[in-house]
Homo-oligomer: A and B are copies of this chain.
Amino acid sequence: MKRKVTLKQIAKELDVSISTVSKALRNSPEIGEDTKQKVQAFAKFYNYKPNNIALSLKNKKTKTIGIIIPEIVHHFFATVISGIEQVANENGYNVIVCLSNESFDKEVINMEILANGSTDGFIMSLSKETQQKKDFHHIQEVINQGMPVVMFDRITNDVLCDKVIIDDQLAAYEAVDFLVAKGFKNIALVTTVDYVSVGRLRTDGYINALNDHDIPVHEDMIVKIEDIEGCASKIEALLKDKRPDAIFAVNELFAVTSIKLAAKMGIKIPEELSVIGFTDGIISQFSSPSITTVSQNGIYMGGRAAKMLIERLEMEEEEENEQYRTELIETHLVERESTSTM
């Protein structure tokens, strides 16, 4: 019996990207005729079934929700899953999780697998690479097939669907405002590169807060981290050359790394340096000093996302054109040992 061929294998065989194969199979005008014919012929020969099989299954409910997240080593995504699980189970739904590992290709493959009759709908947070590429055809595809999608945290405005987010800009603004109120002026930012939507929004919040307090924004007080491996040397240089009195870090790994590096350099926390993180995970709670942080409430966020998806799954047909909603989750600052007054 012929084994089922996957998108990935077709892409490899024809030496094109997974995205190209996926688009060619959907007859996208973005793909040249030649490539389209080649891909379609290949797929036909190997009896490839694209996930529009989901169409025919539209009325066969699986009572299962598919979650696609970038990774789970960050505690935040683990808490969101817990929140989704809880509300899903209360409503008689099960949950399946797939990881994109920050890869666009894996995100596409995961959607293909789960849309293939395994789930009724999706809750997802975009991979870094997807945000960078701005290619969302795989998500649009499942929505067109009638499978609802709820995005959370890392979202895009290019896809119309329900969304659950925190007001990242406001949350960052409030964190920096808190530092200014404590008397700090020389405040550094440790953030992600700009294509990560939440990183960019938190950066904007930092800049707005400084502007509103008439504190000049210095580009060299803003450190943008591409990946966690390169993070230490950049933060070390910041601490050494700029001697900030406070740091706002856009996630807890950046925060705890700043604290560890400062301690190694003999900078006392919080006496000589105050640090605020983002995401109230186990690192913030258990590190010493424990870390003052913006709490995102991942469990609540997951629960709300599950509620939105289930409501949409259980809508009667006449309601189905109801407008998509974007729900803002409130954050709050948890004050701990890593901050003091100037």
Interface residues of A, Cβ cutoff 8 Å to B: 1, 3-4, 6, 8-9, 59-64, 72-73, 75, 78-79, 81-82, 85, 89, 92, 94-99, 101, 106, 109-110, 113-114, 117-118, 256, 260, 263, 282-283, 286-289
Give the residue among A85, A89, A96 with the most B Cβ atoms within 10 A.
A96
Question: How many monomers of this protein are in the complex?
Answer: 2
Kindly identify which residue among B59, B79, B113, B117 contacts A96, using a CB–CB cutoff of 8 Å. Answer: B113
Q: A4-B60, A260-B286, A283-B282 are in contact. Are A96 and B95 (CB under 8 A)?
A: no
A84 to chain B, nearest CB (A): 10
Task: Please determine whether A113 and B73 come into contact, CB atoms closer than 8 angstroms.
Answer: no
Q: List 14 A-B contacts (CB under 8 A).
A: A1-B60, A4-B62, A4-B63, A6-B63, A8-B92, A73-B79, A73-B282, A95-B98, A96-B96, A96-B113, A96-B118, A282-B282, A286-B286, A288-B288
A297 to chain B, nearest CB (A): 15
Instruction: For A79, give the chain B residue with the smallest CB separation.
Output: B73
If A62-B113, A95-B98 are given as contacts, then 5 extra A-B residue pairs at C-beta distance below 8 Å, sorted by A number, are A1-B60, A96-B114, A96-B118, A282-B283, A286-B286
Contacts of A110 in B (CB 8 A): 94
Task: Please determine whether A82 and B73 come into contact, CB atoms closer than 8 angstroms.
Answer: yes
Instruction: For A260, give the chain B residue with the smallest CB separation.
Output: B286
Kindly identify which residue among B1, B78, B118 contacts A73, using a CB–CB cutoff of 8 Å. Answer: B78
Contacts of A4 in B (CB 8 A): 60-63
* Distance of A109 Cα from B72 Cα, bound (Å): 23
Q: A6-B92, A92-B6, A97-B99 are in contact. Are A72 and B61 (CB under 8 A)?
A: no
Q: A8-B92, A60-B4, A75-B73 are in contact. Are A99 and B81 (CB under 8 A)?
A: yes
Task: Please determine whether B97 and A97 come into contact, CB atoms closer than 8 angstroms.
Answer: yes
Task: Please determine whether B101 and A85 come into contact, CB atoms closer than 8 angstroms.
Answer: yes
Contacts of A106 in B (CB 8 A): 89
Contacts of A117 in B (CB 8 A): 117
Nearest first, the 9 A-B pairs at minimum CB distance are A288-B288, A97-B97, A72-B78, A1-B59, A286-B287, A118-B118, A256-B286, A3-B61, A73-B78
Contacts of A9 in B (CB 8 A): 92
Contacts of A73 in B (CB 8 A): 75, 78-79, 82, 282
* Distance of A81 Cα from B3 Cα, bound (Å): 26
Task: Please determine whether B85 and A94 come into contact, CB atoms closer than 8 angstroms.
Answer: no
Contacts of A6 in B (CB 8 A): 63, 92
Instruction: For A282, give the chain B residue with the smallest CB separation.
Output: B283
* Distance of A82 Cα from B72 Cα, bound (Å): 9
Contacts of A8 in B (CB 8 A): 92
Contacts of A98 in B (CB 8 A): 94-97
Instruction: For A281, give the chain B residue with the smallest CB separation.
Output: B282
